[in-house]
Amino acid sequence: DLAKNWFHVTSVLFFYLPSFLLIIMILLTWKAIRHIQIKRMHTFCEDGDYPNASMQKQLKDQTRMEH
C-alpha cells in the first residue's frame, strides 16, 4: 500500500511539476516580450518615426473637439 501511495505521489509530481514550470516559463517570456514591445514603442515615440503618429494626432484632435 505504501509503495502504491509513493507511486501515486511520484506520478503526480512528474505530471504537475513540468506543467507548472511550463506555465511559469510562458508567463515570464510573455512578460519579457510585453516589456520589450513597450520599450520599443517608447523609443519610437521619442525618435518621432512612430508609424501611427498621425493617427494618434487625429485621435488627440478628436478628443479635444469632443471636450
Instruction: Quick: pLDDT tens for 14-48.
Output: 888 889 999 999 999 999 888 877 777 666 555 55
Query: Is residue 58's pLDDT more than 90?
Result: no
Average per-residue pLDDT for the chain: 77
Go through 23-51 and write b for each residue having 16 or more CB atoms within 10 A of its CB, e for each that does not: eeeeeeeeeeeeeeeeeeeeeeeeeeeee
Cβ-contact 50, 56 below 8 angstroms: yes
pLDDT at 21: 92
Higher pLDDT, 46 or 10: 10
User: Would you kindly state where each structural domain of the chain is located, as residue ranges?
Assistant: 2-66
Query: Is residue 67's pLDDT more than 60?
Result: no
